[in-house]
Amino acid sequence: MEIRQIYYVMEVAKHQSFSKAAAALFISQPAISQQIHGLEEELQTKLFKRDTHSVLLTAEGEKFCSYAKDVVTSIDRLMAAFGQSTADSKTVIRTGVFPFYKTAGLMPVINDFFAVSQNVIGSIKVVDNYRAYEMLENGELDFAIIKCRENNIRPSVRHEVLTMEHLNVLINRENPMAKEPVMKLENLGKMPLLTGESDSHFYNEMKELYQRNDVPFNVAFMNTQETEIMVDMLRADRGILMATDRVAGNYEDETIAVLPIVPVQEFMTALIWPKHRRLTGAYLAFKNYVVGRFR
């Protein structure tokens, strides 16, 4: 029996729902179901009665929770004795992420951290880089994971590089230029670009790239948060989209081709936090976990 399994049972009993308990603990529903099923097998009993409308404790489940409360109380006393957060006072780690975070492989890493950190709660917000810097500065975020050129990171933050990747063009396979093995930088202006809002970091990053190479900045659509709209427009051959290796690879299929840009354009994914802040406890653990997993 693992301590986290005890917390999982208590949370499901509290919410009378596996999905709500999973959301509260910031883990997936299959993960919490699997752990409780394993515990039930070990104890050779059923802890919950499940039907289409609710999840209720069995008599054995009630018995389990009566003892589990004592265990949780003892753990809280132990944690409090060493200045750590308790079940009633959990540390909240607020993290900003860039719009294409799901296809960049961030969620499994973040989910796994909160799955093994019982006294920590996660809060995720999708934000543009500019907004991320602002929210870190005013204390609305503890961390942000951003994409940018290495020399464009602001001096007001500390950072750890998670990955260095190349920039690619996502293009509809029906477009004549999709037949080429690579996309030459000077050809980018021949096709409209799907990009962020005009006041976003992504928009200005792309505008700088085009202008620095004397390429016409031909914009078809401006949107930062609604990534699926941009992908739908890409599939309709309404423009091209820029993405780094990992994100681009997740969208390549029978409709969308991925062409590396030449000369090579490097972008980094970085974990950032306020420069003035000294990381300790759960915050230091989060930073080390995310960096370690990516490296």
pLDDT tens per residue, range 239-254:
999 999 999 999 999 9
List beta partners, residue 144. 96, 272
pLDDT tens per residue, range 205-241:
999 999 999 999 988 876 656 778 888 999 999 999 9
pLDDT tens per residue, range 2-54:
888 898 899 899 989 988 888 776 667 888 898 899 999 999 999 999 887 78
CB 287 within 8 A of CB 273: yes
The mean per-residue pLDDT over the stretch 268-275 comes to 96
Instruction: List the domains of the chain with CATH numbers.
Output: 3-81 (1.10.10.10), 91-162+269-294 (3.40.190.10), 165-266 (3.40.190.10)
CB 168 within 8 A of CB 242: yes
In the chain, % helix, strand, coil (3-state, to 5) comes to: 45, 25, 30
